[in-house]
Structure 1
Amino acid sequence: MNATFRSSAMPKGVVVARPRQGDGLAQAYLRRGRRYIPLGAPDARDFAARLDQALLGAEPKADSLAHLIWRYQQSPEFKRLAARTQDDYREQLARIRLAFGREALAAFDDKSAAQRIFAWRDRRAESPRRADYGVQVLKALLGWAAGRGLVERNRAAGIPPLYRSDRRYKVWKPDDVDRFVATAPPGLGLAMIMALETGQRQSDLLALRWSDIDGDVISLRQAKTRQDVAVPITPRLASALSTAPRCSAFVLVRQDGQPWASNGGFRNAWRFYCRKAGITDLTFHDLRGTFVTERLSAGWTLQEVAFCTGHSFRNLGCLERYADRGAIARALARRRIAPAPLPLPSSAGVAMLPEGP
């Protein structure tokens, strides 16, 4: 096979082989272990249909959990998920199929189904976040089935998570930011300032285009939540953007001026320069929490922050998991301190008015 490369526009497992001759057509393949399933030219009219068929595979036995997975991946609810989320779900659904695929769907109406799900989660407990994500996807699958009357209830709904993390106090301090910007290339320094001043996720910032900037506001639709958000451009961000090269339609580019081919390449570069700057206990996602902490400390309302971060108004309390409550409380307390009253002059210094004419 010709040299292949991973295209960020393709699902996980799909690679594209460049033609040996300049006038040939690139060919896509779905990698399954050591096998490569040919999909044809990526720009062919029937490519999307062939890709969907390859990702789904053959139809499993009816009334099995494997068949439910097969149906779910063709549903409008699954296709509304962001492309990266679909990739992640497919990976977990493959694990679920391996564990439960041969079971009859009716078996998940029995109370013992919860015990089997607990046992499956516990076998993966050495990686608690992955174990929890598997249960999350199974919960989504069975919830979809329950909504359509295919099962009586969602037996995964009551499975608690194993992983507990409290990163509310993992806030980037000014010294951390300065050390990273001084160490990293300009493109990563701009990414730092953009994340700090907008509170957006890494994937949304990497997809941000210059056309999304309208004067003093950045407007975008988030890939994960499909929420429309708008963030005011601060003077610090305006200064950083004014010196950024405009060699691409994308705002954030690599050192060679090309957009980042994948989030993985960006993450590797980010971690490398964090270590080089001596920053080992902070992540890119912590910049989102830093944004929330700083804006609430400045007196923004929860609704104002949510319009920037994309959080739902129905559950504004979830913003608390991003925020350093202590830092916000101290900042608000200082802002609420009333100025000391002016001292009244002593009676000896007050001119006495005559009592009468």
Structure 2
Amino acid sequence: MPPQLRLPVALGMFTGLRKGDVLALTKAAIRDGKIWRRTGKTGQEVSIPVHPDLAHLLARAPSHDAITLSATSNGTPWTESGFNSSFNKAMAKLKHEGKIGDGLTFHGLRHTVGTLLVEAGCDLDTVRRWLGQKTLAMAIHYSETADTSDRMNQVIKKFDPLGSKART
């Protein structure tokens, strides 16, 4: 992955923000160990803690004078079309090298974050708030492929359809 793409892709992977929101994040968006953003699509304000691995990537990101966190190799803020072109070329190269499969998109990172949050035990309202969604239905949409088998194992320990377990 080219150095100028690492940070915006990492921001997508660790936050689940949409591409436009990631590219618009300013350096001032990081305060008190969190990324603050009013999402462009829904207008919801999100406050996402900076994961330690993301903090490491932020610290090692190429230096530039742009107001945005992410910048092109020339140190200017990304345009969406410029980012799309660079991202698509990088994905095609990685696919050709056998490092990724078909269908990897920037927006897919949003689905991955929703899935990982559910698999980590987060409830749908937390997923909704993290992703800046207005409705639980969208949180369900972004996390529908989550593997919840471990949670179901915990449920069966509590499930008592015959009422034979001691009640409190």
- Fold in common (TM above 0.5): yes
Is contact 2:117-2:127 (8 Å) kept?
Answer: yes
Task: Give the corresponding residue for 2:12.
Answer: 195
1:306 aligns with 2:155: no
Structure 1 residue 337 displacement after superposition? 8.3
Task: Give the corresponding residue for 2:110.
Answer: 288
Is contact 1:298-1:331 (8 Å) kept?
Answer: no
1:146-161 to 2 correspondence within 5 Å? none
User: 229-238 or 239-248, which moves further after superposition?
Assistant: 239-248
Task: Give the corresponding residue for 1:145.
Answer: none
Task: Give the corresponding residue for 1:230.
Answer: 47
Task: Give the corresponding residue for 1:266.
Answer: 83
For the structure 1 residues 258 and 232, does the alpha-carbon distance in structure 2 shift closer, same or farther, using more than 3 Å as the test?
A: same
Choose between structure 1 and 2 for higher RCO, CA contacts under 8 A separated by at least 6 residues.
2
For the structure 1 residues 196 and 336, does the alpha-carbon distance in structure 2 shift closer, same or farther, using more than 3 Å as the test?
A: farther
Is contact 2:15-2:48 (8 Å) kept?
Answer: yes
Task: Give the corresponding residue for 1:277.
Answer: 94
Task: Give the corresponding residue for 1:250.
Answer: 68
- In 2, Cα distance between equivalents of 1:337 and 1:236: 35
Task: Give the corresponding residue for 1:220.
Answer: 37
Identity across matched positions, percent: 32
Normalising by structure 1, we get a TM-score of 0.40
Larger radius of gyration: 1
Tell me, which stretches of 5 or more residues in structure 2 are unaligned? 158-168
Supply the AA of the counterpart residue of 2:51: T
- In 2, Cα distance between equivalents of 1:286 and 1:301: 20
- In 2, Cα distance between equivalents of 1:263 and 1:242: 24
Structure 1 residue 323 displacement after superposition? 1.8
Aligned residue pairs: how many? 151
Is contact 2:4-2:62 (8 Å) kept?
Answer: no
**CA RMSD across the alignment:** 1.8
1:1-357 to 2 correspondence within 5 Å? 184-247=1-64, 248-260=66-78, 262-278=79-95, 279=100, 280-312=102-134, 315-325=135-145, 327-333=146-152
**Equivalent residue of 2:133, what SS?**
coil
Supply the AA of the counterpart residue of 2:49: P
- In 1, Cα distance between equivalents of 2:91 and 2:140: 26
For the structure 1 residues 237 and 337, does the alpha-carbon distance in structure 2 shift closer, same or farther, using more than 3 Å as the test?
A: farther
- In 2, Cα distance between equivalents of 1:251 and 1:337: 46
